[in-house]
Amino acid sequence: MDSPLTLVGLPIALGIIMLGLGLGLTLDDFRRVARYPKAAVIALVCQVVVLPALCFGLVVAFNLQPELAVGMMLLAASPGGTTANLYSHLFGGHVALNVTLTAINSVLAVLTLPLVVNLSASYFLTGTESIGLQFDKVLQVFAIVLIPVAIGMLVRARAPRIAGRLNRPVRIMSVIVLVAVIAGAVYGERENVADYFVSVGLAVLTFNLASLIIGYGVPRLAGVDRRAATAAGFEIGIHNSTLAITIALSPVLLNSTQMAIPAAVYGIVMFFTAAAFGYLVTRRKAPVEETVPA
């Protein structure tokens, strides 16, 4: 794992990914939460509190290996991403709310993600296996995640045309580097990958489906309109598996291929489950929809 590709490539890939996210954000995306407080607060509580608790229960119920268990918790603590925004747009969700939740979650993850990983590592890993994210690694997460987002937002605010031009090449570059690193990691664990997929596949599918249901169902039960609930469903149900994989594989953070497996499986499964979820939601559209979320 301690190859130049992972030591240098992964932090660069994650930095580029978060820079790309920042290029699409403005301060209004954060201010917008005041316009939709009910929908935003419910979604954030589900994302930050309910899902990690649910994931912990699933991990215990499925009796996963310690490294896979921590990888599942890392996935649960990862925020939503641009894929959620895309699905929300395709299936009639409130995309502005998605962007707002993505922005806030990206900031909160700097604090909540290390906390969840540390607690799960101390619970599932014992003795010399316990690694977690120590304070210096938390600072690295802060630097790699939040600073590129801030730079991207600054470029977007000061030079919107440049931000528009950079958006596509930044995404392409990050995907190329990340795919190369993941391919190398999978090749190194090629003898065990099939077993990992078998052992964690059902747990990942269950977690994904439960995330989508909770993300949509809880806001609806609380009286949030359907468009906003659809946005919350995608935001909560589609985690940023790229972020989880990068943190798991990075030698300066968790340095574990096993911990990246749940996010890798999730990254494949979610495309199909999210599409099925969107289809079901659009089929059940009410005759008259509110235009502004609660």
Tell me the Cα Rg of the chain: 18
Q: How far apart are CA 43 and CA 227, in angstroms?
A: 13
Give 156-196 pLDDT, tens digit per residue: 888 888 877 777 777 677 667 656 656 665 666 566 667 76
pTM, entire model: 0.73
How confident is the model over 87-130, as pLDDT tens digits? Answer: 887 788 887 787 778 778 777 877 788 888 888 888 888 754 44
Answer whether residue 274 is part of any domain.
Answer: yes
CB neighbourhood size of 36 (10 A): 22
User: Rounded to an integer, what distance in angstroms lies between the CA atom of residue 104 and that of residue 92?
Assistant: 22
Q: Is residue 289 a part of any domain in this protein?
A: no
24: in domain? yes
The tens digit of pLDDT for each residue in 266-294 reads 877 888 888 899 889 887 654 444 444 45
In a domain, 249, yes or no: yes
Q: Read off the pLDDT of residues 123-161 as tens digits, 9 standing for 90 and up.
A: 888 754 445 555 555 566 666 667 777 888 888 888 888
For residue 150, the domain's CATH number is 1.20.1530.20
Residue with tokens 């994989």: 245
Residue 288 lies in a domain: no
Would 294 be classed as within a structural domain? no
Q: How far is CA 131 from CA 39, 113, 138, 143, 252, in A?
A: 36, 14, 13, 20, 11
Whether 84 is covered by a domain: the verdict is yes
Asked if residue 128 is part of any domain, the answer here is: yes
- In the chain, the number of structural domains is 1
Residue span of the structural domain in which 206 resides: 4-282
